[in-house]
């Protein structure tokens, strides 16, 4: 499966949890339950009010252990 996603990260907070092997991206200022979620191989995307609410990426399912994602661009 391939997903190409273009999101302006200016409006999102990114948190990396190396012990759990996940990266969580969530839209600042949004709260409450999402309207719906889409699950893929190694990720979950939640939507609210027609916008991407959260993206949860399970790195150990989709990335080789030797590959690192640079989240310093926040």
pLDDT tens readout for residues 24-35 = 999 999 889 999
List, in sequence order, every residue forming a beta bridge with 15; answer none if it has no partner: 24
E strand map for 1-74? 12-17, 22-27, 36-40, 43-48, 51-58
pLDDT in tens, 24-65: 999 999 889 999 999 988 889 999 998 899 999 887 766 555
- CA angle, 57 as apex, 74 and 47 as ends, to 5°? 85
Query: DSSP 3-state assignment of 66?
Result: coil
């Amino acid at each position: 499966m391939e997903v190409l996603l273009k999101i302006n990260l200016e409006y999102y907070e990114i948190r990396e949890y190396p012990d759990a092997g996940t990266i969580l991206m969530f839209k600042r200022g949004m709260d409450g339950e999402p309207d719906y979620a889409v699950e893929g191989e190694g990720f979950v995307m939640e939507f609210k009010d027609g916008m991407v609410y959260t993206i949860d990426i399970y790195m150990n399912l989709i990335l080789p252990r030797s590959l690192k994602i640079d989240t310093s661009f926040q």
